[in-house]
Structure 1
Amino acid sequence: MTITPEMINEAAGMFVFLTVELTILYLLISYAVGYVQTRLPPERIQNILSDQHGRGYIAAGFLGAITPFCSCSTIPFLKGLLRAQAGFGTMMVFLFASPLLNPIIIGLFAVTFGLQVTVFYFLMAMGVSVIGGITLEKLGFEQYVKPQSYEEPAPQSCGTGCGVKTKPVSVWKTIWLSTWSDFKTVIPYLMGGIAIGSIIYGFMPTELLADIASEDNPLAIPVAAVIGIPLYIRAEAVIPLSAALAAKGMGLGAVMALIIGSAGASLTEVILLKSIFKNQMIMAFLAVILSMAIGAGFLYSLIF
């Protein structure tokens, strides 16, 4: 493959764009979560996401569905749930559902595939998210959450001014200091994921994806689901990407598997999750997303 200036420009442009966008999103969402935590006691969050009679799992799924987050910006919200001691299973349902069922994705699916396919997609994503959360909780995967994920960021050192009376810090500043301290711990993961995702975005041609996942390839759907993981496909890019790949010969089932794999578990998100989860939990998370993507792709091909 010949590297062209256009590829370099696309990769560099995507890196700058994602760095700015995800940094702003992370800080804004972390700050908003910090504010909510000051107004909403942990006990209230625990009650909302209680797993009593399974209602907490459904509530977590719909909480994810009404939050317009991409996969990466779900992470600070997840950290807030961890620190509020919400149920592990319900948190996982939220983690699976949030990037897949946000209003932007659903709206674009309705425009691209029609209402019938959108309902199918919603039920598939919601169902697998709930089942995945329950299953991981029952199998005891909570042990693979890093202990520091439950802790509040360390307070800022008072330096040489210790012992000197100072004005009380406002709630807003306290939230910001906590947000910034938390953000500094994920910067290496964030930058690493953005760099890798941008390189793949700039240098992997759509023709290659279409050839690998064409309708003539019996492994097209699982291959498309796996390919989707290292890509970072924004919700706004779903329509043109789907149209371009379908026009180049990719089956619609494979297109759906690619979208679910990418939206549900982008490489950037997986790298960020390493700041929260141990490797066993990362592998389980990927297994659920891949199962959802492959299952939805095959079922879509059979029904539609």
Structure 2
Amino acid sequence: MNIEMLNNTLGMFTFLTVELTLLFLAISYFVGVLQLYIPPAKIQSILSSQNGKGYIIAALLGAITPFCSCSTIPFLKGLLRAKAGFGTMMVFLFSSPLLNPIIIGLFAITFGLKVTLFYFTFAMGIAVIAGYMLEKLGFEKYVKPEAYEAPKPSGCGSSCGGSNNKPENKWLSIWRSTWSDFKKVLPYLMAGIAIGSLIYGFMPTEFVASVASDDNPWAIVVSAVIGIPLYIRAEAVIPLSSALVAKGMGLGAVMALIIGSAGASLTEVVLLKSLFKNPMIITFVAVILTMAIVMGFTYNLLFI
């Protein structure tokens, strides 16, 4: 076994475990605070699927939230519990990791404004269309019932011990709910991180570049598929693309890899098991793969 690959795997596992744990807890707590001050009825009215503007608002919300694919999950949980429109929630799920400010900024620096505008418009358009179609096709039935339920805080609250106890502090109550939520998704999180870290550590960039070179007519499809198992943060995926291009990888294939890895990492797919039934998860991956492949071929057609 290659010691360097093992070290890379263990390093990535440690990094992702710490990062995603802190992100999940911080974002879940933030969502809990938002729910305290923004009533569910307000969220419903803003992100209603009956309101055509709700889809655009959801896409723009995804574009301004600096979330990676995994850290969208606690925010999505909050939208589910607020009974926001299903279609608009899916738009947010598709758009947030692909259109966040970090990835758009790096896109502009690496590929230029024209390509960035193409990427932004294409990704937002497909996200809105996919969310609308999933709503109309009745995919809401594949949301697990427990995903709509607020977690029951663990430990003693105002109901413990007797009538002299003061009501529990609201900030502590939000933390207890956050921790309860985190414990539910922890097995999914650890499984996704472990698998993703193994693939990251033992799949060298040379291999990715070789199977997705300009000489391979299936390069874009292969890149999109390879991107799904990887967990590459927005801060890393675009700088990595420069190295892959230098090793002979086509730009359309790089585009497909970026969409696949940023839009539907394996870690995120495993986490979505806590919210969705299998048909919804399969459809989610299919939408991201389709977006990656179509964007890759369209990029080659327009810019090469």
- After TM superposition, the score normalised by the length of structure 2 is 0.97
Identity %: 73
CA contact (8 A) 1:67 1:102 kept: yes
Q: Which amino acid aligns with 1:45?
A: I
Deviation at 1:185, TM superposition (A): 0.1
Deviation at 1:236, TM superposition (A): 1.2
CA contact (8 A) 1:232 1:262 kept: yes
Q: How does 1:231-242 map to 2 (within 5 A)?
A: 231-242=230-241
Indicate whether 1:286 and 2:285 are aligned. yes
Deviation at 1:240, TM superposition (A): 2.7
Q: Which secondary structure does the structure 2 equivalent of 1:231 belong to?
A: coil
- 1:115 maps to which of 113, 116, 135: 113
Q: Which secondary structure does the structure 2 equivalent of 1:232 belong to?
A: coil
Deviation at 1:238, TM superposition (A): 2.2
CA contact (8 A) 1:108 1:238 kept: no
| Equivalence for 1:74 | 72
Q: 1:303 to 1:142 in 2, by over 3 A?
A: same
Q: Which amino acid aligns with 1:115?
A: L
Deviation at 1:292, TM superposition (A): 0.4
| Equivalence for 1:47 | 45
Q: Which secondary structure does the structure 2 equivalent of 1:153 belong to?
A: coil
| Equivalence for 1:90 | 88
What is the rounded CA distance, in whole Å, between the counterparts of 2:90 and 2:10 in structure 1? 33
CA offsets 1:194-238 (integer angstroms, 9 cap, x no match) = 111111111101111111111111111011001000001111112
Deviation at 1:163, TM superposition (A): 3.7
| Equivalence for 1:227 | 226
CA contact (8 A) 1:261 1:289 kept: yes
Q: Which secondary structure does the structure 2 equivalent of 1:86 belong to?
A: coil
Q: Which amino acid aligns with 2:275?
A: I
Q: Which amino acid aligns with 2:129?
A: I
CA contact (8 A) 2:238 2:258 kept: no
Q: Which amino acid aligns with 1:251?
A: G
Deviation at 1:158, TM superposition (A): 3.9
Q: CA RMSD in A?
A: 1.3
- 2:13 maps to which of 6, 12, 15: 15
Consecutive unaligned residues of structure 1, counting only runs of 5 or more, are none
Q: Which amino acid aligns with 2:164?
A: K
CA contact (8 A) 2:13 2:193 kept: yes
CA offsets 1:1-57 (integer angstroms, 9 cap, x no match) = xx3211111111111101000000000000000000000000000111123451100
Deviation at 1:157, TM superposition (A): 5.0
- After TM superposition, the score normalised by the length of structure 1 is 0.97
Q: Which amino acid aligns with 1:278?
A: K
What is the rounded CA distance, in whole Å, between the counterparts of 1:53 and 1:74 in structure 2? 23
| Equivalence for 2:127 | 129
CA contact (8 A) 2:49 2:86 kept: no
| Equivalence for 1:247 | 246
Deviation at 1:150, TM superposition (A): 0.1
CA offsets 1:144-174 (integer angstroms, 9 cap, x no match) = 0000000000232549954453222111000
What is the rounded CA distance, in whole Å, between the counterparts of 1:196 and 1:165 in structure 2? 50
